[in-house]
Structure 1
Amino acid sequence: MISLPLPRFGETVTVLRPGPPTRDIYGNDTPGPDEEHPLPGCAIAPGPGGEIVGGQDTVTEHLAIYAPATADVRPTDRLLVRDLTHSVHGPVEAYRSPLTGTTADLRITARRVTG
């Protein structure tokens, strides 16, 4: 794989990944603390949002995040984008250049629901 330089003006997104489970005093598995790592060089594009569910105003914010091909992101991760926590929504999609066959970048759909 060819290593390309990171974009100069991209944003840094923080990946929040569930840590290994721990056991509570009763022997039950509990989620471990989040493990974090930065994801520099991202482009962030807003998507559609806002809907009414069950008569309640609910705001759903979608983002398309374009990250370098070497990004370590899983569908079970959460992302800290501009101080707001979003969940990864769907698969992490890799794009290949039809001209060179190299992986160009990743597209990550993130979602945040409030209300």
Structure 2
Amino acid sequence: MPAPYPFGETVVRLRRGTSPGRDPRGQPIPGTLTETLVEGCVVTPRAETPSVGGDQQQARDTVIVGYTVYAPPRSDWRTTDQVRIRGDVCEITGEPGDWGQNAFTGMDGPVQFAADRVSG
């Protein structure tokens, strides 16, 4: 089956499995990381406009804070996943939103989510 957006790009979903237990200090041990290629995604820069007159608005109008991803219909994304986009590892911010079925065309819409770059 071809990707829903033929000129879209491939991103990598990073998902941790269930923790196998705790370390000697009682901290959870991270589960196994699974990487899944997701083809046919539309990726756009996500901008934030600083408030007028605020400290952040020093001779600039917008600041790029991450990406907005439009993933294929019914693709599986969780708030606990990470995503690798163009080499950047990003956290999923907020709940992924499923656009559902278009009432005019009957086609399934994308799953949309915000992704913020991981720093540090």
Decide: shared fold, TM above 0.5. Answer: yes
Give the corresponding residue for 2:117.
Answer: 112
Please name the residue that 1:68 is paired with.
Answer: 72
Query: Against the structure 1 CA distance between its residues 60 and 48, is the aligned structure 2 distance closer, same or farther, given a 3 Å change threshold?
Result: closer
Cα separation, partners in 2 of 1:114 and 1:26, compared to 1, 3 Å: closer
CA contact (8 A) 1:46 1:64 kept: yes
Corresponding position of 2:19: 21
Q: Kindly tell me: are residues 36 and 47 of structure 1, through their superposed partners in 2, closer, same or farther at Cα, counting changes over 3 Å?
A: same
> Is the 2:23–2:29 contact (alpha carbons within 8 Å) kept by the matching residues of 1?
no
Kindly state the Cα deviation for residue 102 of structure 1 after the two structures are TM-superposed. 4.3
The 3-state SS of whatever aligns with 1:31 is coil
TM-score (norm 1): 0.76
Q: CA deviation at 1:98?
A: 2.0
Output the CA distance in 2 between the equivalents of 1:46 and 1:107.
Answer: 13
What is the aligned partner in structure 2 of residue 56 from structure 1?
none
Change (3 A) 1:98 1:48: same
CA distance in structure 2 between the partners assigned to 1:42 and 1:17 by the alignment? 18
TM-fit CA distance, 1:36: 1.1
Q: Percent identity?
A: 29
Contiguous gaps of at least 5 residues in structure 2: 57-62
1:81 corresponds in structure 2 to: 85
CA displacement, residues 72-107 of structure 1 (integer Å, 9 cap, x when unaligned): 211110000000100000111111312145421111
Aligned residue for 2:80, secondary structure, equals coil
Question: For 2:110, what is the secondary structure of its paired residue?
Answer: strand
Alpha-carbon distance in structure 2 between the residues aligned to 1:31 and 1:111? 21
> Tell me, what secondary structure is at the counterpart of 2:38?
strand
Which sections of structure 1, spanning at least 5 residues, go unmatched? 54-58
**Structure 2 equivalent of residue 30 of structure 1:** 29
